[in-house]
């Protein structure tokens, strides 16, 4: 038994196209030249785009942004996804799907991986597009606020604060405070390594 969420991708020319728009797969299994299976770790976010047609035209155009199922927590079932996931966004119809893809492009233009954005942003996009309203754009300030609320979890996924030995006195003081709590990585390391992020002004 595995805790991974699997997504079966299928491509049949002019008939079916199931693809991942974004997400960090931890494994890939190639079935044949038309099918492969991607696996995602529990709690990770990915976008699954589906399109199908028949002799008369498009019969489905859909995008789902999902958080991979976590053992012991509830999840929704989604075709081609096993066991399922927490649905952050689900929209059908090409105009809405196209708009979601454009918003994903806009996030990437900020040098932010779409899988790392605030989860409530995808809920916001879903709710606004569902009633044909324009979603607010994602911003660096919003992303920084999200990272702060999550205690810089994306930083800590790669960097071990205990293994870092800053050269400056200010750096050592800040890292001592980090270990005590109350501050987090993005309070200081906003523009050091990652692309510049504007501070929120309000």
Using pLDDT thresholds of 50, 70 and 90, give the confidence band for residue 199: very low
**For 50-62, what is the mean pLDDT?**
94
Q: Does pTM surpass 0.85?
A: no
DSSP letters of 46-98? EEEEEEEEETTEEEEEEEEEEEEP-TTS--EEETTEEEEEEEEEEEESHHHHH
pLDDT digits (tens, 9 = 90+) for 153-195: 556 556 666 667 777 776 666 666 656 666 666 556 565 445 5
Counts for the chain of helices (H) and strands (E), in that order: 5, 8
pLDDT tens digit string along 93-115?
999 999 999 999 999 999 999 99
Which residue has tokens 């960090």?
Answer: 24
Backbone angles phi, psi at 70, to 5 degrees: -110, 130
């Amino acid at each position: 038994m595995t805790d991974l969420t699997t997504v079966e991708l299928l491509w049949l020319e002019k008939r079916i196209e199931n693809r991942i728009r974004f997400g960090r797969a931890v494994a890939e299994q190639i079935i044949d030249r038309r099918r492969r299976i991607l696996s995602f770790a529990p709690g990770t976010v990915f976008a699954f785009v589906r399109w199908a047609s028949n002799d008369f035209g498009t019969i489905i155009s859909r995008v789902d942004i999902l958080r991979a199922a976590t053992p012991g927590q509830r999840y929704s079932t989604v075709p081609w996804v096993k066991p399922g996931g927490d649905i952050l966004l689900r929209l059908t119809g090409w105009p809405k799907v196209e708009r979601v893809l454009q918003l994903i492009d806009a996030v990437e233009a900020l040098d932010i991986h779409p899988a790392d954005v605030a989860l409530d942003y995808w809920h916001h996009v879903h709710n606004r597009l569902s009633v044909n309203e324009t979603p607010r754009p994602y911003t660096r300030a919003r992303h920084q606020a999200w990272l702060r609320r999550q205690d810089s979890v994306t930083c800590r996924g790669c960097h071990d604060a205990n293994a870092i030995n800053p050269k400056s006195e200010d750096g050592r003081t800040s890292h001592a405070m980090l270990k005590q709590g109350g501050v987090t990585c993005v309070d200081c390391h906003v523009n050091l390594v990652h692309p510049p992020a504007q501070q929120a002004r309000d």
